[in-house]
Amino acid sequence: MSCFSLSLFIFSLHIHYLVPTSGEFQQFRECASFVCGDQEISYPFRHVRQPSYCGYPGYELDCDRDNLTILSMKSLEYQVIHMDRSKQILEVERMDLSNDICLGTHVDTTLNFSLFNYTSSYLNSTLFYNCNSSSTHSPYRFSCPASGHGYFALDADLEKLPHERCNFSVFVPILPIEASSPPSTPESGSSANIRDIIRDILKKGFEITWIANTFLCENCTKSGGRCGYGWTGQEFNCFCRDKACPTTCSGPSGMYAKVTVA
């Protein structure tokens, strides 16, 4: 469908969208990117308060009071540390481990594999809880008030580790650079100090890649449009200043405003 015919179709269903009071197409205004701290939330992602057609289905991000960009997935929340759009990579960290590794609920890190996947750069680091103290030979030994003795394995081989002597384990991937030069652990360090060292390793995060194809969005943005999905059907939409088009805007490219969430 051409941009012109698509505009006629939209006009027949949504006349008020084509004559907004601001002089701009409503979907163009609504799908402006958000700036949350150091991160920009834009297609394929959308801010949770934006209409669903501003992002690819399933890619919602929030911005908390501290201007942290938050990804919610599989009952866990992750802080987005960095976003590399050229490689489609997010660097994220588990927020429930950012203050203390002594967890109330022991939940493995699990991705929604229809939306994300791990990059090749991660290690199978694992936290073990409620262990027989005599079996914990790792330098990263610690104890928690509710779950007793535990330890942290930087690159866990579950077939070789004495995990059968531990009641709980939590998989948390880390970047290889953290395992190649881990911080030293004092011989006589307190359990609280060791927990802080482990927490600092985990706070570096790990990388995941998003699966949604953004090739059409790149062309739309270059033409001055803003990207969306599913407004006119289950397909990509390019929202221009005056109409919606299938792929790109017909007019010259232009700059658009970013909205900062306080």
Q: pTM here?
A: 0.81
Convert the pLDDT of each residue in 79-89 to its tens digit. Answer: 999 999 999 99
Kindly tell me if the per-residue pLDDT of 172 is higher than 90: yes
Both tokens assigned to 9: 């179709």
Domains in the chain: boundaries: 3-59+212-260, 77-210
Mean pLDDT of 46-67: 95
Kindly tell me if the per-residue pLDDT of 99 is higher than 70: yes
pLDDT of residue 90: 97
Instruction: Convert 16-52 to b/e letters by CB count within 10 Å (16 or more is b).
Output: ebeeeeeeebbbbbbbbbbbbeebebbbbbbbeebee
Kindly tell me if the per-residue pLDDT of 207 is higher than 60: yes
Kindly tell me if the per-residue pLDDT of 19 is higher than 50: no
pLDDT of residue 159: 60
DSSP string of the chain, one letter each residue: --HHHHHHHHHHH-HHHHS-TTSS-HHHHHT--EEETTEEE-TT-EETTS-GGGS-TT-EEEE-TT--EEEEETTEEEEEEEEETTTTEEEEEEGGGSS-S--SS-------TTTEEE-S--B--EEEEEE-GGG--SS-EEEETTTEEEEEETT--TTTS-GGGEEEEEE--B-HHHHHSPPP--TT--HHHHHHHHHHHHHT-EEEEE-S--HHHHHHHHTT-EEEESSSSSSEEEE-SS-EESS--SS-------EE--
pLDDT of residue 153: 87
pLDDT of residue 134: 59
